[in-house]
């Protein structure tokens, strides 16, 4: 499906990003990924190469403009063009009660919104026909827990950026986003990881299970597949139906016990 396609992924060393690199590699793609975790990045790059995948790992912090430019230059120098860009990397430091500082808040925006925008801009001259961008947003773009303002603001912004880029790049690149819900990434951090969930963990999902990174990889690959070229500017929620389940106190064996927030 993706044989010899050039797939660029930010935050590809661990978690969902690691899963994405490996699934696209299995499908025949060549992989370029950037991450600030040197050890994990090298381990994943070595794994991909052992599987016969032509791979570029670039060490750097995508919240910095220089990293973005050097990474883009390295990708084009090695591969010459881009078919797929997946903006996956993200980091945030809570919200108003933490408190998340001015610099912390802007770091989340730089990594979660500015970097995806800049990578789309830097690769714009090099996207081949049929190219696709997938941005990683979250169900948190539309619902929140307390003290998550930096995360929620960045994910809301990348959702809006998705449809803006889809219009601006119309006819050249399709742009969509995927919004994960609860995804257990443990196995893509530690191969010996074993998941343990309570009955409530699974029951609160209409799908009756917690999500796996493969669920996200499948959705991303669907959106990148040229056979789905009529889909652009859209957001695909992958959360096992969790954000659709309305529960009032007293329903489903659940009781709400308010706690006072200390300020």
The rounded distance, in Å, linking the Cα atoms of 168 and 161 is 10
The rounded distance, in Å, linking the Cα atoms of 246 and 187 is 30
Q: Are 137 and 176 in contact (CB under 8 A)?
A: no
CA dihedral of 111, 114, 117, 118, whole degrees rounded to 10: -90
Catalytic residue among 126, 151, 248, 256: 151
- SS3 string, 208-236, reads CCCECHHHHHHHHHHHHCHHHCCCCCCEE
End-to-end, the C-alpha distance of the chain in Å comes to: 53
Could you identify the residue written with the tokens 């060393």?
13
The rounded distance, in Å, linking the Cα atoms of 69 and 28 is 26
Q: Are 180 and 240 in contact (CB under 8 A)?
A: no
The pairing of beta strand 55-59 with beta strand 30-35: parallel
Tell me if residue 151 is catalytic. Answer: yes
Catalytic residues, by residue number, are 151
């Amino acid at each position: 499906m993706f044989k010899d396609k050039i797939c660029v992924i930010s935050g590809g060393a661990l978690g969902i990003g690691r899963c994405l690199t490996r699934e696209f590699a299995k499908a025949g793609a060549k992989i370029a990924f950037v991450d600030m975790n040197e050890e994990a990045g090298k381990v994943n790059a070595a794994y991909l190469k052992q599987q016969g995948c032509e791979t570029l790992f670039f060490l750097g912090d995508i919240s910095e403009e220089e990293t973005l430019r050097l990474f883009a230059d390295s990708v084009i120098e090695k591969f010459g063009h881009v078919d797929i860009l997946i903006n996956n990397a993200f980091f945030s430091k809570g919200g108003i009660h933490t408190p998340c500082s001015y610099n912390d808040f802007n770091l989340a925006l730089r990594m979660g919104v500015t970097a995806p925008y800049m990578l789309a801009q830097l690769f714009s001259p090099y996207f081949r026909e049929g190219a696709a961008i997938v941005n990683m947003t979250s169900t948190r773009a539309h619902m929140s827990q307390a003290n998550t303002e930096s995360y929620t603001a960045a994910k809301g912004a990348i959702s809006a950026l998705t449809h803006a880029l889809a219009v601006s790049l119309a006819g050249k690149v399709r742009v969509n986003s995927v919004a994960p819900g609860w995804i257990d990434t443990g196995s893509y951090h530690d191969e010996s990881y074993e998941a343990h969930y309570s009955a409530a963990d699974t029951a609160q999902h209409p799908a009756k299970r917690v999500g796996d990174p493969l669920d996200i990889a499948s959705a991303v690959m669907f959106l990148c597949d040229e056979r789905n070229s009529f889909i652009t500017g859209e957001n695909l929620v992958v959360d096992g139906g969790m954000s659709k389940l309305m529960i009032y106190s007293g329903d489903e064996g659940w009781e709400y016990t308010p706690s006072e927030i200390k300020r």
